[in-house]
Amino acid sequence: MANFEIRAKDGLARLGRFSTKHGTVKTPLLMPVIHPGKSIISPKDIVDVFGFQMVITNSYIINSHEKFREKAIAEGVHGLLDFDHPIMTDSGTFQMYFHDLPEEEIDPLAILEFQKQIKTDIGTILDAFSKPDVGREKVEKDVELSLERAKMSVGKKDEMMLAGTIQGGIYEDLRERSAKAMGALDFDVYPIGGVVPLMEMYRYSDIVRVTLATKKHLPPDRPVHLFGCGHPMLFAQAALLGCDFFDSASYAKFAEKGRMLLTTGTVHLKDLSELPCECPICSNTTAEELKALPKDKKDLALMRHNLYVSAAEMRRVRQAIADGKLFELAALRARSHPALLEALQVMTENMDQLIESDPFGKSSSIFYTGVETAVRPEISRFHERVLSRYPFKTTDTIIIVPDIGERPFSDTASTIIAEVRKRKPEEVLLMFLTPMGVIPWELEHVHPAQQCIFSKSVDPVTLNISKKRLQEILEIITFNKIVWFERESPTNQLSKGLSDQYNLTKTTTASETITAIENLDSEKSDWYIRKLRAVLMYQWGENAGDIANKEGIQVVFSRSTGKIRHVTLENEIIFTVVPTTGLLTPTFKGGEILLHANIDSTFLVTMEKDAAEFVAKGRSALAKFVKNASSNLKAGEEVLVVDNESNLLGVGRTLLSGVEMLVFNRGVAVNIRHSRNI
């Protein structure tokens, strides 16, 4: 049974909880490697002083030394290390690779039994390590050997949790083959193995490729462990790719060579005149004093520094996931080294995989970090939803207003907006063209429309993406002419070439723009219904849009922000709006209206009979009681929770995707906002 649950998501990253017999840990997490006979810093201090939650040690080393082996057998690995928190053990695969040991050096079943005997929390199979420079034929054999050993081992794990390592070298198809086969076996953790040499050679882009290939085929309810990843400058990007566990002995190995780990790379103490860090070590001494220490004391000080920096970065990663800001942290770290930036570029080329996992309805601001910003999941998904769900497909005139988006559109284009409010969508549509792409006026308050902060000098790649998105929007709308309101904005230059395709008029003032559409016969327009319809369809699809036309519907706006506050029907609130996202949240009555409108079944979550009454009382819908959920449902959506007879139990926001709801047996699937009996 899986012991993992998700609390928040960002990209492929998961903020989670993993339970063991020795406690529950928060993920993503880093496990410092502990050598049973060489560790200068005690495992207790790893937790109490540096704030780590879990350690990893090597069962092969323990088994190979009589004094370690006897104590571990007698007192367990926890007694050997004098440590009462969770411990993971490796099997010796890396030692066989590193020391070029013969294949028969370690017996796969014997090392498994030894790990059970010393009562480790998580053991690891003996897999076959593939070096990066060997040919495909050898890697294929290693994949098959690893799978053969996995099948031998998994049925013998008993009460010990077991990690099944994915191999495949640099070959993405072999990684996928390995992940599919291993993912079908009942492992508790899935490490991605064979990447340490890639890290040592700064082949970070290869790590991105093999990680994404692996993640596609692993059970979503099990943590993924990037074996040997211990440098803090890589944590953010690896977590964004969906890695939950990390481990490394780098803190000690680097220290022994006089090297200091930083989030921006590695520095040599001998080259420093100042200590570039705020940790307790660097804050309480000087570079010269540190250099003058005896070797053993200097090594210890550097180890402590490396642990402080690594622990702080992992905390920073977890907070970034909670805030929806991990992409920016990864982009920032990528500027530390060209190889990391190349890896980020590879990730952006595979953005569909991140978009598939990234939660809907984020509220955090988006800071421009470079060419990767325009294809971030939040921005790409906004554009895709506009293309597929924007309700107004026929008009006479489209007004395009270039804008950097640094201020509300109601401030920068108030005169034009006032005129558009008088018109029906069949007469005129208003589109703001920003570096993120096209923002229809009706969706101006929907995240991330006005949460993107771009610099005034935007790179050509971003502008090309914005122009492509403009072209895609224009292709789905039937219109007679475009009025282009020229302004000082990086996107103003994107009008070039449009005159050759469309009937385009350029204006330089708001009054000119209005004059360009004045010849239209205007009728009274209920502009607030127009906005409501667009948001309803953006969230729940075409059928939901009809709710805006119900007799008696009223929209209440905030006087200070101009945003929708809530929607009423016959004086009863049916929707409220989250100010930071611009999205609608239904009351229970609103949920009933959505249900009767026959919205897409994607937004229905069906509960098992035994759990229905608890959800009806307002309790969270737990994943293990979800009977049915759509594979197209994303985390972060506002959904209707129903029973077997499609009776509404409650409305709420999903914490998991539909696929995850049907796989996880721990944690919350839907946080219920309003329920039938409350």
pLDDT tens per residue across span 514-530: 998 866 565 667 899 99
Name which residue leads in pLDDT, 121 or 98: 121
Is the pLDDT at 619 greater than 90? The verdict is: yes
Residue 389: pLDDT over 70: yes
Q: Mean pLDDT score of the chain, rounded to an integer?
A: 95
Question: Among the listed ranges 290-299, 349-358, 523-532, which one has the minimum average pLDDT value?
Answer: 523-532
Percent of the chain with pLDDT over 70: 98
Instruction: Tell me the helices (H) and strands (E) count for the chain, helix number first.
Output: 28, 30
pLDDT greater than 80 at residue 102: no
* Chain-centroid distance, C-alpha 278: 28
Where is 319: in which H helix or E strand? helix 295-323
pLDDT given for residue 262 in this prediction:
97
Residues with Cβ within 8 Å of residue 30, at least 6 apart in sequence: 52, 230, 235, 246, 247, 248, 310, 311, 314
The reported pLDDT for the residue numbered 1 is 53
In sequence order, the 6+-apart residues with CB closer than 8 A to the CB of 289 are none
pLDDT band per the 50, 70, 90 thresholds, residue 101: confident
Q: Residue 399's pLDDT is what?
A: 97
pLDDT at residue 561 above 80? no
Count CB atoms within 10 A of the CB of residue 134. Answer: 13
SS3 540: helix
Beta-strand runs (E) in 338-466? 366-367, 397-402, 428-434, 437-440, 452-453
pLDDT at 39: 84
Phi, psi angles (nearest 5°) of residue 321 = -65, -45
What is the rounded CA–CA span in Å between residue 86 and residue 78? 8
Query: Which residues are bridge partners to 526 per DSSP?
Result: none
Which one is predicted more confidently, 153 or 410?
Answer: 153
Band the pLDDT of 131: cuts 50, 70, 90: confident
In 460-608, which residue ranges form alpha helices assigned H by DSSP? 460-476, 498-501, 510-515, 527-540, 542-545, 588-596
Q: Alpha-carbon distance 471 to 487, whole Å? A: 19
| Least trusted range by pLDDT, from 19-28, 33-42, 319-328, 335-344 | 33-42
90 is catalytic: yes
Cβ-count burial 595-614 (b if 16+ within 10 Å, e if not) = bebebeebbbbbbeeebbeb
Neighbours of 659 (CB within 10 A): 17
Angle between helices 338-349 and 326-334 (to 10 degrees): 140
CATH numbers and ranges of domains, the chain? 4-354 (3.20.20.105), 373-515 (3.40.50.10630)
Strand order in the sheet with 224-226: 29-32, 245-248, 224-226, 190-192
pLDDT at 148 over 60: yes
Query: 619 is written with which tokens?
Result: 């309790």
Helix (H) or strand (E) holding 649: strand 648-654
Is the pLDDT assigned to residue 401 strictly greater than 60? Answer: yes
pLDDT category, 511, cuts 50, 70, 90?
very high
Q: Is the pLDDT of residue 471 over 60?
A: yes
Output 1 or 6, whichever has higher pLDDT.
Answer: 6
pLDDT at 521: 61
pLDDT band at 37 (very low <50, low <70, confident <90, very high): confident
Instruction: Determine the pLDDT at residue 2.
Output: 67
Q: Which helix (H) or strand (E) holds 146?
A: helix 136-154
Tokens 């059928």 locate to 543
Q: Characterize the bridge pairing of strands 87-90 and 55-58.
A: parallel
Catalytic residue among 10, 90, 188, 221: 90
Q: 241-250, 255-264, 511-520: which has the minimum mean pLDDT?
A: 511-520
Backbone angle region of 240, left / alpha / beta, with phi > 0 → left and psi within -120 to 50 → alpha = alpha
- Of the candidates 226, 263, 232, 261, the one whose C-alpha atom is nearest the C-alpha of residue 245 is 226
Given pLDDT bands bounded at 50, 70 and 90, which one contains residue 82?
A: very high
Query: Is the model's pLDDT at 497 over the cut of 90?
Result: no
The 10s digit of each residue's pLDDT in 535-556 is: 999 999 999 999 999 999 999 9
d(CA 232, CA 264): 8
Q: Strand 23-27's sheet: what is its strand order?
A: 4-10, 13-20, 23-27
- DSSP states of 60-104: HHHHHSHHHHHHHHHHHHHHHHT--S-EEEE-SHHHHHHTT--GG
- pLDDT tops 60 at residue 135: yes
Look at residue 534 and tell me whether its pLDDT is greater than 80: yes
pLDDT at 302 over 70: yes
- Note the pLDDT of residue 523: 63
pLDDT at 127: 94
Query: What pLDDT digit, counting tens, does each position of 205-222 carry?
Result: 999 999 999 999 999 999
Could you give the CA distance from residue 456 to residue 491 in angstroms, rounded to a whole number?
A: 10
Token duo for residue 335:
């500027």
- Compute the average pLDDT of residues 559-581: 91
**346 pLDDT above the threshold of 70:** yes
Say what the pLDDT of residue 105 is: 85
CA atoms of 416 and 414, how far apart (whole Å):
6
